[in-house]
Amino acid sequence: MGGKVVDPNTERDPLELLAAEYMERLRQGQSPSVEEYAAQHPTLEEEIRELFPTIAVTERLKARQERSSGGLASLGAAQLKRLGDFRIIREIGRGGMGVVFEAEQESLRRRVAVKVLPRQVLLDAKHLKRFEREARIAANLHHTNIVEVFGVGEQDGFHYYVMQYIHGVGLDCLIPELAKAVRNQTGNSPPSPASTVSNTHPESASAAARRLLGEDAWRTGRLGSVYWQAVARIGLQAADALHYAHSLETLHRDIKPANLLLDTQGTVWLADFGLAKAAQSDDISLSNDLVGTLRYMAPEQFRGSTDYRSDIYSLGLTLYELLALRLAYEETDRSRLIQRITEGPPPPPGSAERGIPRDLETIILKAASHDVKQRYQSAAAMADDLRCFLEDRPIQARRVGPVERLGRWCRRNKALAGLAGTTLFLLVLVAAVASVGYLQTKNALQGEARQRARAEANAELAREALDRMFDRFSPSRIRILPQPSVDGAAAVPGSPILSKEAAALLEEMLPFYDRLAQQTGNDDKLRAGTAEANRRVGAIRQRLGQLDEAVIAYRRAIALLEELRVRSLEDPRLKVEVARMKNELGRLYTSLRKVSEAQEAHIGALALLEADEASPSAPEAARFELARTYFFLGTQERPLPGAAPRDRDRQAQIANPQRDSLAKAVTLLKGLSSSPAANPEYQHLLALCYSEGAAVGEARGREARSGDERAIQILEGLVQAYPSDPDYAYDLSEAYSRIHIPRPPIPAETQRTIEDRFGKALNLLETLVAEHPDIPDFRASEARTHDKLGSFYRQMERWSEADQNFRKAIALQSPLVKQFPDVPYYGLWMATFRIAYADALIHRDQPAEARVVLEETISTLLRQLEQRPETPRPHHLLALGYSRLSLALRQIGEKAQADAAAQKAKQEQTLPPGHGGAGMNECRGAENAFCLLRSRD
């Protein structure tokens, strides 16, 4: 503030001057030491020791108070005993919109349910009026399947909503119980119904599940017609109730499993009519609880339009979950969930295994149709179809076939509409030919030559059709560089897409390919086709994240190709083909972190191609494949985070062959890309070589930086020329974020450069993740980049920014960990992020929270280790986790536990390393954490 007084500081109490500085540093998230101040100011030593801790405590309490008041909606410290005429008996449940109590209305001696809204929900007169109006409307609904609303009230700022008490259970509790029963099959003996159902206790979800499944299904875990009929009856009652409400022009707006109650008589009750609108307010949209509601919102609701058909959608989605016994959309992250919902319909509930009746599934999918016009146009129509199903009469709803689904998909994605015609044709062709071709092939194996020839022709036709589809829907390289086009013409790389639709289509293509891949016979042509089909199966599996299956398919393809090559007297084209397959297998192993298998595969490829190295006349395809092979061999092994740091000497030694390998790749690629019409992939790989060279030579500072800069230069050019190619953007982002972060103190200019680079990288990655939500690498990279940025802020002691970035990393990583449980790498990075986050929490004086995070992280790591005993133990990560835990516990005052954790940390550090040869370059997360450990302990 611009003071008007002439330097008044001389008059100020010297202790107050120091206190002001100390306070300021605390507020910036630093941890200034009282002792340091005391030592630096001997004249004030005593007063500093006496008073500064009080400053620290006051600041900390204030910060805590400010945080807690900004939190989520809750009833706060208030303990409700009575609300007007209503005596509170017990809490029944808690939802996004309030806490529900069982209560007695004393004047009428009746049992009621009272929903109390958090104070924040009804902020102003406008909201309050809306709440009262909606409640009045809901009170006008009288239907056998709608929970009756008696009225509203207010006390001490709490607004409440009085309704009929239902002796039953919400479908949200029921569905997990059903899923459990089906999963467990016969193993566990379920609790007896007598012990759980009574008149005074709440209907237990497990007992309700048992009743719904029927005794047979409860015992065997196999769902039968009893259950499907029960689901249809639930749907019918709810649809009837909706129809009634809609006829009175009342929308529910928040149909979801939690709002469908099933009582002991099997009657369904719709609860909370209109409450969603009544409580609509901007600030509660931040509440996590609302995700439970978002999940069932119709896509058009996100665009701000709601009508009675949105209720039909939500009911459809609720019934979907009763069928599938899992969530329709699995996403837990809010924005991703919204994205998924607005993007397209949920995957089919999986009728094949479960024996879901086709008609019932059709009805429910129609109700939950993504497109408003495809839905039932009234709840009555839906009820009619459900009635038909229950009475075993034909239903009105028509099933959507793959052709129509594709047509719809094309309509939604207008940019690709140009492809629709061919694609549609191809899909029909595949469906028709592949199955016919398969049958014929099978017969042909024992049949005559003419028949065999026809079968071959059909199989090939089918495969070609599939291949063209495949290329159209999934040209994504997933970090695997494609071969250039054989004739040497510059192929413009297509944009890889693995949208949900593409993934679904690939899934649909898989069985066709699988059939083709299983053909056996002596015919070479058939065999080549089978090899190709296996390669495609592998590629599809890989794109779908089914890595182990992908390995099997690739290996099968290689074996077939090798056999062919031997018989064809070393056909050079086949040679390149085999080498390419081996390299792809190697990459796959690398992503499975099987380092030696990967190495072996690439060396196999090298053995095939090495002879071409010296000859510039060798076909481009062979030279490029050779360059790729050198590149892969030169790519340093990426150790698991938490691996032991290697000493410098060894690192330098090992780095040399890698550098040589990369240098060879660079020479080849420079030759290849000298032609003006060269494939941009040559440039791309060249950039990657420079980046990798930079990573290997990290010890040698200047060289490393120049390698990265060269890579950035090439990649920026490629991104500019091919803006829609995500791989170039991805690699550019990686190059940006590879920036070296020096030890502090970091000059301001360098800080700015670092922040700028990270900003550029994150910009690219955010777009990539938004545009390609199904490509895991993009997401993983965004998570790691946030982690790196977080570590940078940690070094700067900018704790709130560090904290923010670590949280972002965790949020990004968590769906990956869930989706790819087979990739331990994701789990280990997650642990790294969480430990870093916990560390930031400790610095921000939230040791209790840090403790929770750390304990959970450690137990997850140990559990993963138990489940996959073949993976090396991440000693350093565990050591780090324990040592942070010890620190947090000490701050909380749990001395004994803190000592135990410290002991465990020490133990982890002295245990023999789980795996040799692991370098540290790639695991910067852990490395930074180590610097931190050293500096703090």
Partner 1 sequence: MTSDSSVQTEELERRLRGGDTQALAELFTREREGLWRVIHFRLAEPLRGRLEADDVLQEAFLAASQRLKHYADSPASSAFIWLRMIVNQTLIDLHREHLGAQKRDAAREVSLDGAPYAQATSASVAIQLIGAFTSPSGAAARADTLTLVQSCIEKMDPIDREVLALRHFEELTNSEVAEALGIEQKAASIRYVRALRRLKGILAQVPELSNGGQGG
Q: Which residues contribute to the site for partner 1 (CB under 8 A)? A: 1-5, 8-9, 11-13, 15-17, 19-20, 23, 27, 31, 47, 50-51, 53-62, 64-69, 76-77, 79, 118-120, 123-124, 157, 283, 842-843, 845, 847, 890-893
151, β-bridge pairs = 162
Q: How far is the CB of 50 from partner 1 (least distance, A)?
A: 7
Q: How far is the CB of 291 from partner 1 (least distance, A)?
A: 22
- Sign of the Cα torsion 7, 13, 19, 23 reads negative
Question: Which lies closer to partner 1 via its Cβ, residue 17 or residue 489?
Answer: 17
Q: How far is the CB of 89 from partner 1 (least distance, A)?
A: 20
Question: Which lies closer to partner 1 via its Cβ, residue 57 or residue 403?
Answer: 57
Question: Which lies closer to partner 1 via its Cβ, residue 286 or residue 862?
Answer: 286
Q: How far is the CB of 808 from partner 1 (least distance, A)?
A: 22
Element (H, E) at 154: strand 149-155
Q: How far is the CB of 79 from partner 1 (least distance, A)?
A: 7
DSSP per-residue codes, 567-591: HTT--HHHHHHHHHHHHHHHHHHHH
Please report, to the nearest 10 degrees, the dihedral formed by the alpha carbons of residues 740, 745, 751, 757 taken in order. 10
Residue 226 CB neighbours (<10 A):
14
Beta pairing, strands 98-105 & 110-117: antiparallel
Contact predicate 642/600, CB 8 Å: no
Please, is 339 exposed, middle or buried when counting C-beta atoms within 10 Å of its C-beta (0-12, 13-18, 19+)? middle
Q: How far is the CB of 65 from partner 1 (least distance, A)?
A: 4
Question: Which lies closer to partner 1 via its Cβ, residue 160 or residue 728?
Answer: 160
Element (H, E) at 98: strand 98-105
Q: Vertex 351, ends 362 and 181: CA angle to 5°? A: 120
Question: Which lies closer to partner 1 via its Cβ, residue 55 or residue 490?
Answer: 55
Distance, in Å, from the CA atom of 301 to the CA atom of 382, rounded to the nearest integer, reads 20
Please report, to the nearest 10 degrees, the dihedral formed by the alpha carbons of residues 570, 572, 578, 584 taken in order. 160
Q: How far is the CB of 837 from partner 1 (least distance, A)?
A: 17
Question: Which lies closer to partner 1 via its Cβ, residue 120 or residue 568?
Answer: 120
Q: How far apart are the first and last CA of the chain?
A: 39
Tokens at 429, concatenated: 């062709």
What is the distance, to the nearest Å, from the Cα of residue 624 to the centroid of all Cα atoms in its chain?
35
Distance, in Å, from the CA atom of 705 to the CA atom of 724, rounded to the nearest integer, reads 28
Q: How far is the CB of 704 from partner 1 (least distance, A)?
A: 34
Question: Which lies closer to partner 1 via its Cβ, residue 455 or residue 853?
Answer: 853
Q: How far is the CB of 881 from partner 1 (least distance, A)?
A: 19
Question: Which lies closer to partner 1 via its Cβ, residue 279 or residue 598?
Answer: 279
Element (H, E) at 836: helix 824-843
Q: How far is the CB of 899 from partner 1 (least distance, A)?
A: 15
Q: How far is the CB of 494 from partner 1 (least distance, A)?
A: 47
DSSP per-residue codes, 859-917: HHHHHHHHH-TTSPP-HHHHHHHHHHHHHHHHHHT-HHHHHHHHHHHHHHHHSPPSSTT
- Sheet with 260-263, side-by-side order of all strands: 168-170, 260-263, 268-270
Q: Which residue has the tokens 């073949």?
A: 870
Q: From 775, 768, 808, 764, select the one nearest 789 (Cα to Cα).
A: 808
Contact predicate 695/636, CB 8 Å: yes
Question: Which lies closer to partner 1 via its Cβ, residue 708 or residue 845?
Answer: 845
Contact predicate 315/328, CB 8 Å: no
Question: Which lies closer to partner 1 via its Cβ, residue 143 or residue 843?
Answer: 843
Please, is 354 exposed, middle or buried when counting C-beta atoms within 10 Å of its C-beta (0-12, 13-18, 19+)? middle
113, β-bridge pairs = 102, 163
Question: Which lies closer to partner 1 via its Cβ, residue 119 or residue 219?
Answer: 119
Q: How far is the CB of 338 from partner 1 (least distance, A)?
A: 24
Question: Which lies closer to partner 1 via its Cβ, residue 8 or residue 676?
Answer: 8
Tokens at 225, concatenated: 């017609």
Question: Which lies closer to partner 1 via its Cβ, residue 48 or residue 929?
Answer: 48
Q: How far is the CB of 156 from partner 1 (least distance, A)?
A: 9
Question: Which lies closer to partner 1 via its Cβ, residue 73 or residue 621?
Answer: 73
Q: From 630, 467, 441, select the one nearest 521 (Cα to Cα).
A: 441
Question: Which lies closer to partner 1 via its Cβ, residue 117 or residue 621?
Answer: 117
Q: Vertex 553, ends 446 and 613: CA angle to 5°? A: 110
Question: Which lies closer to partner 1 via its Cβ, residue 280 or residue 667?
Answer: 280
Q: How far is the CB of 28 from partner 1 (least distance, A)?
A: 12
Q: How far is the CB of 847 from partner 1 (least distance, A)?
A: 6
Please report, to the nearest 10 degrees, the dihedral formed by the alpha carbons of residues 162, 167, 170, 176 taken in order. 150
Distance, in Å, from the CA atom of 719 to the CA atom of 765, rounded to the nearest integer, reads 13
Q: How far is the CB of 235 from partner 1 (least distance, A)?
A: 40
| Type of residue at 210 | R
Question: Which lies closer to partner 1 via its Cβ, residue 783 or residue 835?
Answer: 835
Distance, in Å, from the CA atom of 622 to the CA atom of 629, rounded to the nearest integer, reads 10
Please report, to the nearest 10 degrees, the dihedral formed by the alpha carbons of residues 881, 887, 888, 891 taken in order. 180
Question: Which lies closer to partner 1 via its Cβ, residue 25 or residue 64?
Answer: 64
Element (H, E) at 424: helix 420-446
Q: How far is the CB of 62 from partner 1 (least distance, A)?
A: 5
Q: How far is the CB of 14 from partner 1 (least distance, A)?
A: 9
Q: Which residue has the tokens 């958090």?
A: 118
CA 639 → CA 179, 411, 830, distances in Å? 38, 45, 15
